[in-house]
Structure 1
């Protein structure tokens, strides 16, 4: 646990939501169970193995000592502990405790100038996936570069969750974003996120099962950018090993000429080849452009296990299609 304690002892005052310590990446031998995130003004300590009261007391003391050095005058330390052991993970559950201070309600955080509602006291997903920060930056840059396009950028955001991609795309000048997610609750938070950022037009919200909604999705296309960010495994909704291929087959028809697709996958057991091999087979006309780097805070000893965010591009109308075998 020493690497975690050393990181706490030197961390700056956090302003944006971000990861501070990523033991899961294997860069700190012996500390693989620990993760420290900040959703200002709250720290969230997560353990992926059972933690003792003594360990939590040591972490709490370290946070208190550093907070005394960096905190604005009069602001208390707020921190939450979450246990995500293997048995809990398999069941899709977690145990969460407020260890000190309080959590704002509503709890709003910032990232790169955008504001988002989060909820750190319930569930494993807090409303904003911190590892996707560079993916959101890529979308923002992509939309900004196309701000002056004649007809404007139209974006399809599949598995939209709380619609963070939509917020940054519209902030950067996209004309329209169609958000699709089967969770009414997540879509509702997504609508609030747009309101938080003063976005009053351009976004469509479809609380539907994607695989039963292709008619509506197709009618709004074609799209200059399609974002695919599904769960790796969600029983009754999406299983990457069998369902990702169903999305890939749709991409050529969804994309406008020259349009881009952003394919995301957070499944340590599935490497780059899982996406790239299937794309060569199922959508060979789309060309691989790049893998978007993950945030530095999420460094991993094995990039094959880390979050995968891949960019593909459809050919222009007058561009010959090059099929890569």
Structure 2
């Protein structure tokens, strides 16, 4: 646990949501079950193993001491979430959690909920993916091409907000969860980009007709869960998506494929793309944020960019 305490003792005061300690990356022996995030003004400690009371007390004391140095006179707010043996519990250890609670990342604001549930509304490890979308869409908009985007497995629609702020013409967001999409609509309202977004609370595999009629798209974003029973299992369902991908993308358009499954390396997606959508050309794999450094690129988040061939003259 000492590497976590060392990170707390030396951390700066972030102004935006970010990861502070990433034990899950395997770089800190004895800390692979721990991570620490800051969703201003709340610190969120997550453990994938039970943590003894004396260890929690030590972490809390370290946070108290560093917070007193970083923000003297301001109360410390921190939350502990334990995910173990298929269960999840969350405790507010000190202070309080704002309601509503919104945070910012690269100037974009998002609603989050760190007091309950495993997912907080914004996946911090996808920051570079969102940055790529913003840069890509903004470049096309500057050139006079306001792109149309399809955002599959949209969750709370962070990709959509970023794309619209960058100048996208329209974004279609699709997710099975009506609750997640409702938060996504609030994110669009918060950033004043609701007018050019649509929200489809459907199972993707039962909605191909509607998705296809809305296309083709300049950019298709695919960010599914790696394993969600009854919804999506990467090892069998990703292939079902990829075999239809070429039909969704306009000539010269792009696809952003995401996969966060440590047991599946980038070759899993690349080989399936070569077999099922050979017309799409691999462009690059995006680097992950430095805060999410991992002992293995095979294990870490995979975000791959593909491009459709241009129209033949």
Determine if the TM-score, normalized by the shorter chain, exceeds 0.5: yes
Q: Where do 4+ consecutive residues of structure 1 move more than 3 Å?
A: 148-151
Q: Equivalent residue for 1:109?
A: 103
Q: Equivalent residue for 1:208?
A: 202
- Give the alignment partner of residue 221 of structure 2, picking from 204, 219, 227: 227
- Give the alignment partner of residue 298 of structure 1, picking from 292, 295, 309: 292
1:119 and 2:113 equivalent? yes
Gapped regions of structure 2 (runs ≥ 5): none
Matches within 5 A, 1:46-125: 46-71=46-71, 73-85=72-84, 87-88=85-86, 93-125=87-119
- Give the alignment partner of residue 304 of structure 2, picking from 288, 306, 310: 310
- TM-score (structure 1 length as normaliser): 0.95
CA distance in 1, matches of 2:258, 2:208: 20
Task: Give the superposition deviation at 1:107.
Answer: 0.6
CA distance in 2, matches of 1:238, 1:128: 20
CA distance in 2, matches of 1:143, 1:152: 7
Task: Give the superposition deviation at 1:78.
Answer: 0.2
Partner SS state of residue 243, structure 2? helix
Partner SS state of residue 94, structure 1? strand
CA distance in 1, matches of 2:145, 2:213: 17
In the alignment, is the contact (CA less than 8 A) between 2:185 and 2:194 conserved in 1? no
Partner SS state of residue 141, structure 2? coil
CA distance in 1, matches of 2:218, 2:192: 24
In the alignment, is the contact (CA less than 8 A) between 2:17 and 2:103 conserved in 1? yes
Against the structure 1 CA distance between its residues 149 and 256, is the aligned structure 2 distance closer, same or farther, given a 3 Å change threshold?
farther
CA distance in 1, matches of 2:145, 2:33: 49
In the alignment, is the contact (CA less than 8 A) between 2:137 and 2:146 conserved in 1? no
Q: Give the aligned length.
A: 313
Indicate the RMSD between aligned Cα atoms, in angstroms. 1.0
Task: Give the superposition deviation at 1:15.
Answer: 1.1
CA distance in 2, matches of 1:174, 1:150: 11
CA distance in 2, matches of 1:61, 1:151: 53
Gapped regions of structure 1 (runs ≥ 5): 320-325
- TM-score (structure 2 length as normaliser): 0.98
**Superposed CA offset, 1:147-177 (max 9, x none):** 1354520000000000000000000011110
Q: Equivalent residue for 1:188?
A: 182
1:259 and 2:253 equivalent? yes
- Give the alignment partner of residue 153 of structure 1, picking from 147, 150, 155: 147
